[in-house]
Structure 1
C-alpha cells in the first residue's frame, strides 16, 4: 500500500479536491486518449477536522468522535473506523472537529510516542484481512502542522503539494519544505512527489509565477496543470467530486492527466508492473 499525502500550509489550494479526485480515479480506473489506469483498492483518510472529504462522500459525523480521531488516539484501525463509499473500491476514514480534542489528548500523553500512531496503525492494517489489500491510501491533510498532520507525514511514502499561483502560496512553500524535511528525520522514506498547480487562470502574472516555480523553486513540479473551472465549486453543492459532477470539465480532465503523469513516474510504473 502506497500512502500519499496532499499537503499545503495554506488553505484554498485544492488539497481536498486533489485528494478526492486522486482517490476516485485510482479506485475506478479510466481510459483516455493519453493512456489508461487500472482500478485499484483505495482508502481515503480524511485528516482535516473540517471534514470536507467526509461530507463529500456523505460520511460526516457531527456529534460523535470521528474514526480518524479514534485512529490517532489508539494507533489502530480496529473498530468501525473504515467506512465504505458508494464508489466501488473506495473506502474512507471520516474526520470531524473531535480531531482537535484527540490532538490535545495525545499531547498530554507523555508515556507513549506521539508522532508515529498512524504509522503503527497502517502497519497493523496491512496485516489485517480483509483491509490489508489496499493499493493506495490518500491522506487529505489540514492546512497546518498539527499532531495529526505530523503523524500523516511520518506514515507517508509521498507528498503531493497542490498550489495556487499567488504570492501567499509561493511564499509559504519554503516553510512547508523546511517542515517536511524536519519530519523526514522521523521518516526517511517520505519525499515530495511534486508540486501540482491548481485553479490556474492564464495571465502574465501566473505565467511568470509558473516559470519561477519550475525554474527557481528547486522543487519537482508536475507538467500537468489543473485549470480553473466553475464546475469544481459547483460540484461541492452536490457532494460530488469534479469527475463525478462533470467529467468533461477542464478540472476533471486535468486530474485524469495528472493521475496518468503520476502513475507513469518510473517508480510507480515499476510497482504497477509488479502488481500486474
Structure 2
C-alpha cells in the first residue's frame, strides 16, 4: 500500500478537493487508459471533516474514527464504507483536538507512530491510502507524515501560498528524520487563472524553486465550489468542467510517474 499525504500549511488551496478527487479517480480507474480501479482508503485527518462531509459520513456528536486511531494506534473498527466502488474512508471531526491532548499526555508510548502502526494493519487490503491533512503541523499531521510514502502539495499562485510552500518543505525535511522514506512527489498548481502575474509565479515555481512540480495544472472553475454544495467531487458533479478534466489528467500523470509501484501490488 502506498500512502500519500496531501498537505499545505495554508488553508483554502484545494487540499480536500485534491485528496478526494485523487482517491475517487484512483478507485474508479481509467477505461480510456486501460487502468483498472485500485482499492483506496481515504483518511480524513482534518478536524473540519470536509472529506467526511463530502461522502456523507460526518458525525459531529461522537468521537470520529481518526481520533480513535490517533489515541490507540489501532485501525480495527475504524474504517467506514463510502458507498463508492473500491473506496473506504476514515472519518474525522472536531474531537481531534481532544485526541491530540490525550496523545500528548501519554508519555509511556511513542507519540508519532500511531497512524503508521494502524495503517500497517491494513496494508494488504488497499493499494493506496490518501490522507487529507489540515493546514498545520499538529501531532495528527506529524503522525500522517511519519506514515507517508509520498507528499503532494497543492498551491495557488499567490505570494502567501508560495511563501508557505518554502516553510512547509523545510518542516517536511525536519520530519524526515522520523521517516526518511517520505518524498515530495510534486507541487500541484490549483485554481489556475492565466494572467501575467500567475505566469511569472509559475515560471519561478517550475524553474527556480527547486521543487518538483506536476505538469498538469488545475484550472479555476466555479463548478468546484458548486460541487461542495451538493456534496460531490468536481468529477462527479460535472465531468465536463475544466477542473474535472484537469484532475483526471493529473491523476493520469501521477500514475504514470509513481503509481505503477502500487497499482495491483499489495504488501
TM-score class, shorter-chain normalisation, is over 0.9
Partners of 1:273 and 1:78 in 2: CA distance:
23
Higher strand share: 1
Report SS of the residue matched to 2:71. Answer: helix
Partners of 1:273 and 1:240 in 2: CA distance:
27
Aligned with 2:104 (options 104, 107, 117): 107
Aligned partner of 2:165 in structure 1 is 173
Question: How much does 1:173 deviate?
Answer: 1.1
Aligned partner of 1:31 in structure 2 is 31
Partners of 1:82 and 1:272 in 2: CA distance:
21
Aligned partner of 2:155 in structure 1 is 163
Report SS of the residue matched to 2:117. Answer: helix
Q: Is the 8 Å Cα contact of residues 193 and 220 (structure 1) preserved in structure 2?
A: yes
Unaligned runs of 5+ in 2: none
Report SS of the residue matched to 1:3. Answer: strand
> Is the aligned partner of 1:91 residue 2:82?
no
Partners of 1:82 and 1:174 in 2: CA distance:
34
Aligned partner of 1:199 in structure 2 is 191
Partners of 1:90 and 1:117 in 2: CA distance:
22
Judging changes above 3 Å, is the alpha-carbon distance between structure 1 residues 173 and 83 closer, same or farther for their aligned structure 2 residues? Answer: same
Partners of 1:17 and 1:8 in 2: CA distance:
13
Report SS of the residue matched to 1:264. Answer: helix
Aligned partner of 1:129 in structure 2 is none
Report SS of the residue matched to 1:45. Answer: strand
Q: Structure 1 runs of 4+ off > 3 angstroms?
A: 270-275
Question: How much does 1:163 deviate?
Answer: 0.3
Partners of 1:273 and 1:66 in 2: CA distance:
30
Q: Is the 8 Å Cα contact of residues 37 and 260 (structure 1) preserved in structure 2?
A: no
Q: Is the 8 Å Cα contact of residues 38 and 264 (structure 2) preserved in structure 1?
A: no
> Is the aligned partner of 1:264 residue 2:219?
no
Deviations 1:117-175 (A, max 9, x none): 0011111223xxxxx32010000000000000000000000000000000000011111
Note the 1:219-238 alignment, pairs <5 A.
219-238=211-230
Deviations 1:72-97 (A, max 9, x none): 00001112x10101211110000000
Question: How much does 1:109 deviate?
Answer: 1.1
Report SS of the residue matched to 1:103. Answer: helix
Aligned partner of 2:18 in structure 1 is 18
Deviations 1:46-94 (A, max 9, x none): 0000000000000001010000000000001112x10101211110000
TM-score by length of 1: 0.94
TM-score by length of 2: 0.97
Question: How much does 1:274 deviate?
Answer: 5.9
Partners of 1:271 and 1:84 in 2: CA distance:
22
Partners of 1:87 and 1:30 in 2: CA distance:
15
Aligned partner of 2:247 in structure 1 is 255
Aligned residues: 266
Partners of 1:274 and 1:97 in 2: CA distance:
35
Question: How much does 1:271 deviate?
Answer: 4.4
> Is the aligned partner of 1:138 residue 2:127?
no
Q: Is the 8 Å Cα contact of residues 116 and 147 (structure 2) preserved in structure 1?
A: yes
Question: How much does 1:110 deviate?
Answer: 1.1
Report SS of the residue matched to 1:233. Answer: helix
Q: Is the 8 Å Cα contact of residues 159 and 191 (structure 1) preserved in structure 2?
A: yes
Report SS of the residue matched to 2:83. Answer: coil
Root mean square deviation of aligned Cα = 1.2
Question: How much does 1:30 deviate?
Answer: 2.1
